[in-house]
Structure 1
Amino acid sequence: MTDTVTLPPGYSITWAGQYAFIQRMQDRLTLVVPATFLIITLMLFMAFSRVTEVAIILAALPVALAGGSG
């Protein structure tokens, strides 16, 4: 199988389907995830009015994501 394809004038090849969907989703998530994290942090600060309490809650997130023991 060759690596190049010769196309007649006026024709082109584009990636479509699952590959294109994954590329678009990765681009979207690079914006959505940090924005969501920032909004949640801001809401926590508005609720508690203390940076230390917000930091404690955010520091506990990895443990919560891993699941509790016992």
Structure 2
Amino acid sequence: MASETIVEAVGKLIAEITYLVQHPRIQQKTWVANGKRWLPILEIAQDEIVTASAATNTSNEAYQALMD
């Protein structure tokens, strides 16, 4: 399961992206600067999702093996 820190960080990313989308006159350099902060957080979140998904698949396979 994703850690609380990652969930909170992704929430902040969503809020920042929403603000920038709602204010399109913000210059491109702001997007680039924010993107440099966002990418590491998104990569960590992606890794945690992949890990959680793999663990769920393993649990489901083990359960299915027990039921067979």
Shorter-chain TM-score bucket reads 0.3 to 0.5
Per the normalisation by structure 1, the TM-score is 0.40
Which structure has the highest helix share of the two? 2
Q: Which has the higher contact order (CA 8 A, sep 6+)?
A: 2
Decide which structure has the larger Cα Rg and report it: 1
